[in-house]
Amino acid sequence: MPIPTKIQRILLKLSGESLGADGSGVDPDVVAEVADRVARVQRLGVEVAIVVGGGNLLRGAEFSKRGTNRATADHMGMLATAINTLALQDGLERAGVETRAASAIEMKTLMEPYIRRRMVRHLEKGRVVILAGGTGNPYFTTDTAAALRATELGVDAIFKATKVDGVYSADPKKDKTATKFSRITFAEALEKDLRVMDRTAFTLCMENDMPIMVFDMFVPGNLERAVRGEDIGTWVV
């Protein structure tokens, strides 16, 4: 699969931890920084959809391990993504960006229901769309939600924001000999067990020819450079 040469529409996958100063909670200053970086890309004319996790507030899997019903725990996690979505929506609007928040689980007093055609129309009008509630189903991660929404919305690529500048052969914090890939195929990533995304999400991307750009969003300007096609991060194709 070739690397996209022109990026017109992306799905940005953010972890919940990216909205907290220490990886937990929601820090308004951090939200403002993330919103500013998204706003800069949106002003380039790129259509942006966002899926944000909820791990900074609650991890359903941890509750499940301690005895909470798995479906209940996952629904709790979906509500955490809604809190992050509202925080990010506010940050983007303060940055002067028109946004729409939508959820896979109904919460009509807070945001729209997720309807694919409506989301596509928002993107075409230049609005940033933030998608809460995961897939709306338990047992699926927000990585899988990102893969599903990216496929449904016809984006050019998933941009997976991390705190590492790409995909490495091993954890670079633990293995000083780890080497960074500038490009790797889905098959190679699976063979090397690199865990770019969870297996369900990764398989969905592979089967639908959805490229993934893994990059460090927390270096100022990196998102813009990645969208422009500069040598940033790692392409999984």
The full set of domain ranges for the chain reads 9-236
Q: What is the pLDDT of residue 163?
A: 85
Query: What does the H/E/C string look like for 183-207?
Result: EECHHHHHHCCCCCCCHHHHHHHHH
In Å, what is the CA distance from 226 to each residue of 18, 77, 80, 99, 219? 18, 30, 28, 22, 11
Q: What is the pLDDT of residue 100?
A: 98
8-state DSSP, 43? T
The residue ranges of the chain whose pLDDT is under 70 are none
Q: What is the pLDDT of residue 76?
A: 94
Indicate the class that CATH gives domain 9-236: alpha beta
- Sheet containing 183-184: give its strands across: 112-113, 99-103, 128-132, 47-52, 9-14, 157-162, 212-216, 234-236, 183-184
Q: What is the pLDDT of residue 172?
A: 85
Look up residue 68 and give its two tokens. 């909470």
Q: What is the pLDDT of residue 84?
A: 97
The CA dihedral of 2, 198, 17, 227, to the nearest 10 degrees, is 10
Tell me the pTM: 0.94
Q: What is the pLDDT of residue 60?
A: 78
Q: What is the pLDDT of residue 176?
A: 85
The pLDDT tens digits of the residues spanning 58-86 come to 887 788 888 999 999 999 999 999 999 99
The pLDDT tens digits of the residues spanning 115-143 come to 999 999 999 999 999 999 999 999 999 99
Q: What is the pLDDT of residue 4?
A: 84
